[in-house]
Amino acid sequence: MPQLGESIAEATIIRIHVSAGEPVEAEQEIMEVETNKAVMAITAPCTGTIAEIEADAGETYAVGTVLGHITSDSPLDEVFETPLAPGGTQLLR
């Protein structure tokens, strides 16, 4: 679950728009979530393929929870604004 606002600690997934195996484009809406303040979209951080969705619609998740996995041919340093962790890996949240 990405950070959705300064004071938001969790959100409930309303809809999941993609399934495992589906291709996605960077910034494509993949989920809708609801906080105590608003309904917001979660978008794909990169172009790739949905490898797995770990979240369920109707469930509430804390910020930082892994909601799914995307495989991509893009170099990770082009996908994420933060430097890679040692070993060159980064979770999609």
Cα separations in angstroms, 65 against 40, 51, 62, 69, 93: 16, 16, 6, 12, 6
Per-residue pLDDT of the chain (93 residues; tens, 9 = 90+): 656 667 777 889 999 999 999 999 989 999 999 988 889 998 988 888 898 899 999 999 988 888 888 888 766 555 555 444 454 444 455
Amino acid identity, position 48: G
pTM score of the predicted model: 0.73
Domain span at residue 75 reads: 10-79
- Establish if 40 belongs to a structural domain: yes
Residue 10: its pLDDT value, please?
86
Amino acid identity, position 64: G
- Establish if 45 belongs to a structural domain: yes
Q: What is the CATH number of the domain that holds 53?
A: 2.40.50.100
- Establish if 90 belongs to a structural domain: no
- Establish if 93 belongs to a structural domain: no
- Establish if 74 belongs to a structural domain: yes
One DSSP character per residue, 55-76 reads --TT-EEETT---EEEE-SS-H
Yes or no: say if 14 and 39 are a contact pair by the CB < 8 Å rule: yes
Residue 30: its pLDDT value, please?
93
Number of domains in the chain: 1
- Establish if 1 belongs to a structural domain: no
Residue 12: its pLDDT value, please?
92
